Amino acid sequence: MSRWSRRLVPSCKILVVEGDSPGYADLAQTVDTAVRLGAKVVSNSYGARENGLALSYARSYDRTDATIVAASGDSGFTAASYPAVFGSVVAVGGTTLFKDEFSPRGWTEITWQLSGSGCSAYVTKPKWQKDKSCGKRVTADISAAADNIAIYFAEAGGWLTTAGTSASSPFIAGLYGRVGAKPAPGALYQQASALFDITVGANDRDGSGTKCGGDYLCNAQPGYDAPTGLGTPNGLAAFK
């Protein structure tokens, strides 16, 4: 987990594990080490284009003793991102959140234009994913605000804004930490009604929604879509 998770769960214990390098083997070892040291939720804010070598480290991300969360990437609709592409990992996309005094919620969310989504070329489709345009694993599963995120950076003179699923991923990890459960990613698909469904926006960089042929792989729609998954958190019910 990270400082983003800490903002959600002030009482949580933050354990930072650093790899000796950003290579696949060292990053996988950080997950193994975090869980061995007692982490119940592991947030990963890194990603790479899926490939055979990367996928050989699947065992480190396939856990029954911890919930593994990963950013879906910041390149829009493209090849699926490792490690988010694993069926054992909760893949987190991103949204842009606006204050909206005219809506009952008080906020409006649309797809963040760079929120990562993809159809895997390698990973078998989990039984809990029922979408039709991709015969294998699709990312993302869920999303959270990833655009115009305020951070305090003393070395740069104070408050700045940033963007990325590297922020939305630990946010979701914090909610899992708050609940204290260790559900499989598929459990989210049984709790979709407990999320805010995002139905507007595209993530094919130019925002046209045409790169994926106009369907859910790069366009938000009612129900599941790849850029925002099942939606964004509405309390904690979806994480239990």
pLDDT of residue 10: 66
Q: What is the predicted pLDDT for the residue at 207? A: 82
What pLDDT is recorded for position 171? 93
Helices (H), the chain: 3-8, 24-36, 52-55, 58-61, 165-179
Per-residue tokens: 99: 């204050």
Residues 6+ positions from 187 with CB-CB distance below 8 Å: none
pLDDT at 221: 97
pLDDT of residue 103: 86
d(CA 234, CA 240): 13
Please give the average pLDDT of every successive group of 10 residues along the chain, which has 240 residues.
Answer: 53 87 96 95 95 95 95 97 97 95 91 97 96 97 95 86 94 91 86 96 90 95 98 93
Please name the helix (run of DSSP H) or strand (run of DSSP E) that holds residue 92, with its range, or none: strand 90-99
> What pTM did the predictor assign?
0.93
Looking at residue 1, its pLDDT comes to 45
Find out whether 219 and 85 touch, Cβ atoms under 8 Å.
Answer: no
